[in-house]
Structure 1
C-alpha cells in the first residue's frame, strides 16, 4: 500500500512539473541586449515595467559592437538596443531583426569630461587647444574603430580639426563606461563620453559639450530579434517607446530621437 501511495505522489509531482514548466519558463522576462550607456535608464524602465505586474526584463549591457556580434553568433535574446544606427543596420542586414519592429528610442549628446577632483573648462570649437590641455596625459575614448561613442568622438574631433594632434595619445575603452572609468581613476586627463554617462557619475565633471553638427546625430534604435520567443518582449518594446517609457529616458538625460 505504501508503494502505491509513493508511486501516486511521484506521478502527481511529474504532472505538476510538466503543467507548471511553461508558466515558470514564461516568468522570465525578455532578455534585452542594450548599449552600455543605457544602464541607469534601462534599469529604471525595467523596474517600471515590473511594477505593472510583468516579469522583470533581463538586462545585459555592453558596447553595441559586442552585442551585435553576440546576436550574429546566435545569442537567444529578445530585444537589441544599439547606441548607433550602424550596428543595428549590420544586425538587420544579417537577417536577425523582426520586420517592422525597429524604431528610434532615444538620442544623446557627446561631451568632454575630466576627473571631478581636477576640473577643466574647455570651449569646444575648431582648433581648440585639446592636446595642450591634456599635458602629458591621454584622452580616453571608446574604440573609434567599432564602438559608437568612439566613432562619434573621432568624427567630432576630425570635424574640429584636432584629431591629428591627439590620435596617438588615446586611452581606449571597450565601451563608454570603461572609458569613463579611466577618467574617474585619473588615468586619463580628459575623456569623451555621452552626456548621460557623465550625469551618472559623481567622479567626473563636464569640461565642454560637442556641437551637434560636429558628428552624426546620436540615435538609439531598438528592435525585436527574430529568435525572440518571450511573450512579453513586444509589450516591453512598446512600453519603452510609449510616453511613460520616454519620460523615464528624459529623466536620465536622454533626448528625443
Structure 2
C-alpha cells in the first residue's frame, strides 16, 4: 500500500460527506508542509504520548479520545499521521475498511486493569467484596460494547461471575478517563480502569489489582498512515520511548 492511504469511509448510511470533505481539505493542506506530526491516540495514552513527543525532532500534536471515535474519524478522512488505539477490534475494522495497512501496524505497549476507589479507600480482599462496597451506587467503567477499557472490564466481570450482579449499576463513559473522573469526583465508589490511569490521578487509589490472566491481554496497536507517522511509530518502539512508557506504568510490547 502506498502513501497516503485511501479511505473507504464508513458503511453506507453512516458516512458524513461534509465532514469527510473538510478532513480531506485539511489533509491536502498538511501535505504541502509536513512540519507537524498529528497523532490520534486512545485517551489512556494522552500523558505518555505527550512526554514521548518531546523526544521527536518534529513537532508532535497528540489528540486523545476514545478508540472508537478515532477509528470513525480516520475512516471519514481525518488527517492523522499515526493512530494508537487501546484495542485490536477497532484497528481490525480499519484494516477491513482499507485505511490501515497491516504491514504498518505494531503493538507499542501493554497494560493491566485495576479496581479503583476515591483516594484513601480501603483495599478489597476479593472481587466479591465489590458488591458490599457498591451497595446501590454505580460502578464506573467505559461503555461495555464500544470502549476498550469497558470491553476488558466486562470480560473480567464475567470471568469472576459478577457481571449479572453489576450490569444494571454501571456508570458507562465514552472513554476510560471519564470513568476515572467519576471516581475521582466521588460520584462512584468504585471504577474499573487501566493501572496507568490510576497512577496518573492522586484523587483515586487502587483497591484491587486485577490479575492479568483474568482478563484479555490489553495491548495498544499503533498504525502509521503517512511517512511522518511511520517515523513516529518507529520512535514509539525505541528504547528511550519505551522507558517513558515504563515510567507511566505501561508494560513493554
Fold similarity call, TM over 0.5: yes
- Cα distance in structure 2, aligned partners of 1:86 and 1:22: 29
CA contact (8 A) 2:116 2:205 kept: yes
Query: Residue 136 of structure 1: CA displacement?
Result: 2.7
| TM-score normalised by L of structure 2 | 0.85
CA contact (8 A) 2:136 2:169 kept: no
Deviation per CA, 1:177-226, whole angstroms, max 9, x where unpaired? Answer: 0110000111101000000000000100000111112211000011112x
Q: Which residue of 1 aligns with 2:38?
A: 31
Question: Paired residue for 1:250, among 243, 246, 251?
Answer: 246
Q: Provide the aligned C-alpha RMSD in A.
A: 1.7
Query: Residue 129 of structure 1: CA displacement?
Result: 2.8
CA contact (8 A) 1:34 1:67 kept: yes
Q: What is the aligned residue count?
A: 225
Q: Quickly say closer, same or farther: Cα 1:108–1:43, change in 2 above 3 A.
A: same
Q: Which residue of 2 aligns with 1:209?
A: 209
Q: Which residue of 1 aligns with 2:124?
A: 122
CA contact (8 A) 1:65 1:87 kept: yes
3-state SS of 2:180 partner: helix
Runs of 5+ consecutive residues of structure 1 not aligned to the other structure: 1-20
CA contact (8 A) 1:124 1:210 kept: no
Larger radius of gyration, structure 1 or 2? 1
Deviation per CA, 1:22-44, whole angstroms, max 9, x where unpaired? Answer: 998222x2111100001111000
- Cα distance in structure 2, aligned partners of 1:23 and 1:115: 46
3-state SS of 1:198 partner: helix
3-state SS of 1:89 partner: helix
